Amino acid sequence: MLEAFDKKIASLQINAAIINKEIKLLEKQLKEIRKEITKETKTNNEVVNSLYKNVLKYAVELEIGSDTTMVASYLFTSNLKELSGAILHKTVFAFRLAYIIEIERALKIKLPIILDSPSGKEVDQENIKK
């Protein structure tokens, strides 16, 4: 049975150029679809807008950003390596608080906030008070 399958496959007339052309077309279409998904996810989305407002609110309160330094697209950053020390810890904290608020709003539940060693690393007493 395996030999019959091999013979059938071997007898197929395959044009590599046409297959490669079709693969390139599909890759281009996939790229456009992903681009559209990203656009729709990042713009005019109620959750994203609300999340941004809350991140911004906490960023201002923690003195790590403002609406001019932290635009809405910052929500989708993957480059937190540019931040360090207390700025990084406060930024992460602002994001987590905003996420908690959005989850509570969407699921109608209250989530706990647990601070494990808030005075660890490079966060001083002034930042702990904030």
Q: Which two tokens stand for residue 102?
A: 């959005």
Q: What percent of the chain has pLDDT over 90?
A: 29
Which amino acid type is present at position 52? Answer: Y
pLDDT band at 65, cuts 50/70/90? confident
Domain boundaries, the chain: 1-42, 46-130
Per-residue pLDDT at 101: 93
**Rounded CA separation 63/77 (Å):** 19
pLDDT band at 122, cuts 50/70/90? low
Per-residue pLDDT at 97: 92
- Residues 84-115: tens digit of each pLDDT: 778 888 888 899 999 999 999 989 999 888 87
Q: How far from the centroid of its chain's Cα atoms is residue 69's Cα?
A: 19
Q: Are the CB atoms for 46 and 82 separated by under 8 Å? A: no
